[in-house]
Amino acid sequence: MKRLIIYFLVLGLIFTGVCLAQDDDEETKERGATRAGTAGMQSLKIGIGARAVALSDSVVALVDDSTATYWNPAGLAYVGGTDVTFTDIEWLADIRVMNGTFARKFGFGTIGALFTLVNIGEIERTTPENPEGDGTTFKCQDMIISGSYARWLIPKFAFGGTVKYVREKIDTYTASGFGFDVGLIYETGFKTLKMGIAITNFGPDANFDGTYVELQRDKSTLEKKFKEFSMPVSVRLGIAYTFFEDNPTHTLIVSADALHPNDGQEKVSVGAEYWIKDMLALRGGWFREVGELRDYNVRSYSFGAGVKISKIRVDYAYSDYSELDKVHRFTFGSAF
């Protein structure tokens, strides 16, 4: 009976992902565009955890620590006791992102939590009368809080879910909303092959509170309400395979993910992680957007390294965003 329920759960997740993909494709064809920029709460798309980003995000079937609260909540089932991480990100345009994750295993499953703060800093205020700036500034800040739960439904099959609250503040305007994630990880039984699927940020539309004044062509003004916008929903499928699993000297892990977002083109990524004596890890990944309308990729490759000494982990990731900038991430973690 339990296996039958699991099979229906897997089929339900896959069916939901396919429906989201089909709906997005239909709207894309009608509008003749990639839908880029049509979803809000973009801070939800800033990946956390230096290990995952060094692998170009190809971790939906691989993630096994508290950062699974972001990538795939099912990965929390691998946490054996307590796991914590802190990530500091030097994001694009001098934006600072700080993130913390926590996971704790109990008899009934694993509980996880995430907190992310995105600080955009001071922005010069411009107005129709002063398009070059009026000498004042305003601040922008995003905050994400989430709670997750995961457990092994049967041996080799993990399920997880997340509920998150997102708040975005621009000057005096605030928007908030809720999102939900669900994920699965399945150890296939074919050597070390694992498969994963995650549907993230699925939830109701949000909008900014209050009203704004729009300048008309005749120089008059019109007070308007903010329009609603959707959350950045995505469906991610992936696999992971470990070579030399029983070798005490070195281990090689390769992974690949396919991502379908509701506000852009499909994306694919592959990554490789090489461990030396379970202490030093060297990582690299490749990322690409696909589709007829995409012949130039803002993001291309990532690489990084990690050191694990006893219960402490330190990871670094470098990501190339072409002409935009280079992004550095540092993650400090501990399992105990």
Domains along the sequence of the chain with CATH? 2-335 (2.40.160.40)
Q: What is the pLDDT of residue 297?
A: 63
For residues 223-227, give the mean pLDDT. Answer: 85
Name the DSSP class of 230.
B
Assess contact for 148 and 162: CB atoms under 8 A: yes
Query: Lowest mean pLDDT: which of 69-73, 181-185, 211-215, 304-308?
Result: 211-215
Q: What is the pLDDT of residue 212?
A: 80
Q: What is the pLDDT of residue 293?
A: 45
Q: What is the pLDDT of residue 289?
A: 82
Query: Lowest mean pLDDT: which of 103-117, 263-277, 285-299, 315-329?
Result: 285-299
Query: Lowest mean pLDDT: which of 46-55, 140-149, 224-233?
Result: 224-233
Per DSSP, the residues of 150-195 read EEEEETTEEEEEEEEEEEEEETTEEEEEEEEEEEEEEE-SSTT-EE
Compute CA distances 3 → 7, 153, 156, whole Å.
6, 9, 12
Q: What is the pLDDT of residue 245?
A: 86
pLDDT at 296 over 80: no
Coil, helix or strand at residue 77: helix
Q: Which residues are registered as beta bridge partners of 167?
A: 143, 176
pLDDT at 117 over 90: yes
Backbone angles phi, psi at 143, to 5 degrees: -140, 135
Output 320 or 243, whichever has higher pLDDT.
243
At 336, the pLDDT band (50, 70, 90 cuts) reads very high
For residues 217-226, give the mean pLDDT. Answer: 81
Compute CA distances 290 → 53, 55, 60, 205, 269, whole Å.
19, 18, 19, 27, 11
Q: What is the pLDDT of residue 270?
A: 97
Assess contact for 78 and 64: CB atoms under 8 A: yes
Output 26 or 112, whichever has higher pLDDT.
112
To the question of pTM greater than 0.75 for the whole model, the response is yes
Output 292 or 282, whichever has higher pLDDT.
282
Mean pLDDT for the chain overall: 87
At 216, the pLDDT band (50, 70, 90 cuts) reads confident
Residue-wise pLDDT tens digits, 151-179:
999 999 999 999 999 999 988 889 999 99
Task: Dump strand ranges (E) for 74-156.
Answer: 82-90, 96-106, 109-124, 137-154
Query: Lowest mean pLDDT: which of 64-78, 145-159, 219-233?
Result: 219-233
**How far apart, in whole angstroms, are the C-alpha atoms of residue 147 and residue 103?**
10
Q: Which residues are registered as beta bridge partners of 140?
A: 121, 170
Output 53 or 32, whichever has higher pLDDT.
53
Coil, helix or strand at residue 115: strand
For residues 28-53, give the mean pLDDT. Answer: 76
- The percent of residues above 70 in pLDDT, for the chain, comes to 87
Coil, helix or strand at residue 240: strand
For residues 230-251, give the mean pLDDT. Answer: 93
Token representation of residue 105: 């295993």
Q: What is the pLDDT of residue 31?
A: 46
pLDDT at 209 over 60: yes
**H-type alpha helices, the chain:** 2-31, 50-54, 68-71
Q: What is the pLDDT of residue 28?
A: 47
**How are beta strands 280-289 and 326-335 bridged, if at all?**
unpaired
Dihedral, 277, 279, 284, 285 alpha carbons, nearest 10? 100
Q: Which residues are registered as beta bridge partners of 70?
A: none
Backbone angles phi, psi at 285, to 5 degrees: -155, 160
pLDDT at 113 over 90: yes
Amino acid occupying residue 302 = S
Residue-wise pLDDT tens digits, 79-99:
999 999 999 998 888 889 999
Residue-wise pLDDT tens digits, 3-16:
555 555 555 555 55
